[in-house]
């Protein structure tokens, strides 16, 4: 809407300026000069107010009969044509020539305690008068549109004096208490810049709340054309966003996980102190809002990245990391030359940004490795035993077995696609031995939740080989089942008859 209104206003201003220039720069033909001159525009002022005026003067200033008209309104109307005029009615005679029409003159003559103002100009040719009458309805519409525009519009000359303004600007100037001819906005645009956009604040001095405006200043031939629009909602949104970022910064300042957030332009916009501690990057480098590639280049120089075989492969890998983090959750573990281990997590951020989290997991990795080493040692010890051992969880699932058990029964919980339970195991065992009543008791013992005591039973396979089955409770509700080979008993010799 602002662009449409600006175009409408610019068109109206162009039309009015064109009319003034055409009116001022015309040269009358000799036939026209021979015509009798039109009566001049005449005003009589006393104490700075008009007390009498000609019909042409009323038409020029748009004044109805008896309507008050002061010196400030006269100056505002005539300055675009005659240039700067006195701020107050002069006490001495003066004469002014139109800026672009030497045949048009303004005369100021003191008359007793009053002032006589007279404007003389050659008659207007018939063709030009008809053309102006054709454009008069459009001019009126443009004048109403500019006067009622919901933003301040005004023009200043090279000395930064206001030469024209609309109603919205006049109201702002009155609210700010600015003097006539001046603007409530402190603007000094650079003549070398044809367009300049600035933000300025009005009020906030304790009497009235502050209001923010965005002012666009456009250089024109005779000065500057300005547009000011209220941007309080924009300022409020930016303040809320800045407060939210400050809150996040205070929260992230106490996190041990390093955080680096990049915007859609891949510039660093947020980081916490942990990033300085984990990466040892210079603070001035991070506050300088480096881009993403420079950030990772610096990490590589500080040996906070796994060292690649060559720089080209590292750049290709970095591109893959950025693409993965931009579209979805990405996690990678870095084993650094210093012996530390970092977990890098990349996640997409709102508005096309990327957030990276760096976590030192060296202690966690060391503990995991130590635990894995202990498990491997325990596994080696159990595998060296001759007994077949199986451990079942409190829910009856096979959780662990040693090498003799796998060799005896051909089952391994790590290789089986399905969970092996005590029911499947006892059915397998029952098929390998002669009938025995212990299988139901064993299933109940494994899943029993109350206090349990170790027990054992002797079994015989189909070849008569004896085995001992031992069931022992373990901490956490687990159960260990062992199968021990017993020496083969020799058959008794027949008694001699």
164-178, 221-235, 264-278, 317-331: the lowest-pLDDT one = 317-331
The pLDDT value given to residue 101: 83
Higher per-residue confidence, 186 vs 20 = 186
Residue 259 to residue 263: CA distance in whole angstroms: 13
pLDDT value, residue 9: 45
Name the CATH topology of 250-364.
Beta-Lactamase (3.30.450)
For residue range 52-108, what is the model confidence (pLDDT) as tens digits?
988 888 888 877 777 888 998 898 888 878 888 888 899 899 999 998 888 899 999
* Enclosing H/E stretch for 188: none
Q: What is the pLDDT of residues 101-140, one digit of tens each?
A: 888 999 999 988 899 999 998 887 888 878 878 888 888 8
**Residue ranges of the chain that CATH labels 3.30.450.20:** 250-364, 385-485
User: Does position 426 have pLDDT exceeding 80, yes or no?
Assistant: yes
pLDDT at 238 over 70: yes
pLDDT surpassing 80 at residue 232: yes
What is the rounded average pLDDT of the residues 143-153? 86
**Which pLDDT does position 208 carry in this prediction?**
63
Domain 150-230: CATH architecture, name and number where available: 2-Layer Sandwich (3.30)
Distance, CA of 278 to CA of 150 (rounded, Å)? 54
* pLDDT above 70 as % of the chain: 86
When pLDDT is averaged across residues 350-378 and rounded to a whole number, the result is 84
The whole-number pLDDT of residue 119 equals 93
Give the mean model confidence (pLDDT) for residues 32-53: 76
pLDDT tops 90 at residue 480: yes
Residue 16 has pLDDT above 60, yes or no: no
**Distance in angstroms (rounded) separating the CA atoms of residues 119 and 42:** 7
Instruction: With cut-offs at 50, 70 and 90, classify the pLDDT of residue 144.
Output: confident
Q: What is the pLDDT of residues 366-396, one digit of tens each?
A: 888 888 888 888 888 888 888 999 999 988 9
Instruction: Specify burial of residue 118 (Cβ count, 10 A radius: 0-12, 13-18, 19+).
Output: middle
Strands 398-401 and 268-271: unpaired
Measured CA to CA, the distance from residue 108 to residue 240 in angstroms comes to: 57
- Write the pLDDT tens digit of every residue in 303-348: 887 776 565 676 677 777 777 777 777 888 888 888 888 888 888 8
Structure tokens at 311: 């720089």
b/e 318-351 (16+ beta carbons within 10 angstroms → b) = beebbeebbeeebeeeeebeeebbbbbebbbbee
Answer whether residue 468 shows pLDDT above 70: yes
* Top-confidence residue, 302 or 108: 108
3-state secondary structure of 223: strand
Q: Which residue has the higher pLDDT, 478 or 33?
A: 478
With 50 as the cut, is the pLDDT of residue 25 above it?
Answer: no
- pLDDT of residue 495 exceeding 70, the answer is no
Q: Is domain 385-485 classified as CATH 3.30.450.20?
A: yes
pLDDT of residue 203: 76
- How confident is the prediction for the chain on average, in pLDDT? 81
Q: What is the percent of the chain where pLDDT is above 90?
A: 17
Task: Name the β-bridge partners of 330.
Answer: 346
Architecture of the domain whose range is 27-124: 2-Layer Sandwich (3.30)
- What pLDDT score does 487 carry? 78
Q: Is this structure's pTM higher than 0.75?
A: no
H or E element in which residue 129 lies: helix 126-147
The shares of helix, strand and coil residues in the chain, as percent rounded to the nearest 5, are 40, 30, 35
pLDDT of residue 87: 84
Average pLDDT over residues 173-195: 80
């Amino acid at each position: 809407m602002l662009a449409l209104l600006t175009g409408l206003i610019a068109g109206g201003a162009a039309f009015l300026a064109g009319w003034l220039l055409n009116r001022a720069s015309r040269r009358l033909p000799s036939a026209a000069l021979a015509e009798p001159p039109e009566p001049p525009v005449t005003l009589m002022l006393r104490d700075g107010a008009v007390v009498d005026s000609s019909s042409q003067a009323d038409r020029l200033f748009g004044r109805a009969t008896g309507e008050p008209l002061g010196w400030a309104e006269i100056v505002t109307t005539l300055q675009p044509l005659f240039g700067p005029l006195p701020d107050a009615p002069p006490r001495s005679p003066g004469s002014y020539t139109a800026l672009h029409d030497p045949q048009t003159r303004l005369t100021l003559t003191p008359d007793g305690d009053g002032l006589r103002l007279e404007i003389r100009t050659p008659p207007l040719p018939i063709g030009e008068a008809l053309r102006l009458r054709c454009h008069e309805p459009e001019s009126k519409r443009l004048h109403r549109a500019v006067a009622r525009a919901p933003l301040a519009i005004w023009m200043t000359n090279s000395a930064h004096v206001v030469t024209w303004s609309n109603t919205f600007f006049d109201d702002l100037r009155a609210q700010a208490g600015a003097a006539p001819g001046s603007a409530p906005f402190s603007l000094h645009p650079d003549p070398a810049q044809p367009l300049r956009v600035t933000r300025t604040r009005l009020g906030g001095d304790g009497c009235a709340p502050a209001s923010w405006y965005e002012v666009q200043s456009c250089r024109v031939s005779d000065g500057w054309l300005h547009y000011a629009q209220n941007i309080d909602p924009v300022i409020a949104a930016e303040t809320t966003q800045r407060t939210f970022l400050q809150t996040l910064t205070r929260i992230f300042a106490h996190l041990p996980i390093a955080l680096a957030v990049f915007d859609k332009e891949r510039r660093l916009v947020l980081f916490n102190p942990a990033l300085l501690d984990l990466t040892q990057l210079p603070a001035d480098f991070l506050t300088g809002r480096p881009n993403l590639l420079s950030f990772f280049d610096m990490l590589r120089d500080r040996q906070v990245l796994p060292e690649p075989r060559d720089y080209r492969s590292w750049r290709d890998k970095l591109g893959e990391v950025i693409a993965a983090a931009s579209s979805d959750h990405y996690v990678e573990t870095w084993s650094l030359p210093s012996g530390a281990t970092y977990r890098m997590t990349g996640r997409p951020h709102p508005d096309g940004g990327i957030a990276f989290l760096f976590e030192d997991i060296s202690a966690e990795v060391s503990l995991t490795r130590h635990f894995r080493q202990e498990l491997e040692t325990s596994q080696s010890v159990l595998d060296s035993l001759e007994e077949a051992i199986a451990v079942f969880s409190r829910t009856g699932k096979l959780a662990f077995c040693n090498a003799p058990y796998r060799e005896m029964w051909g089952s391994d919980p790590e290789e089986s696609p399905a969970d092996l339970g005590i029911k499947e195991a006892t059915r397998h065992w029952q098929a390998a031995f002669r009938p025995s009543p212990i299988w139901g008791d064993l299933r109940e013992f494994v899943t029993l939740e109350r206090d349990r005591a170790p027990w054992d039973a002797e079994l015989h396979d189909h070849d008569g080989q004896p085995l001992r089955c031992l069931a022992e409770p373990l901490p956490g509700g687990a159960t260990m089942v062992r199968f021990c080979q017993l020496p083969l008993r020799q058959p008794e010799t027949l008694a001699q008859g």
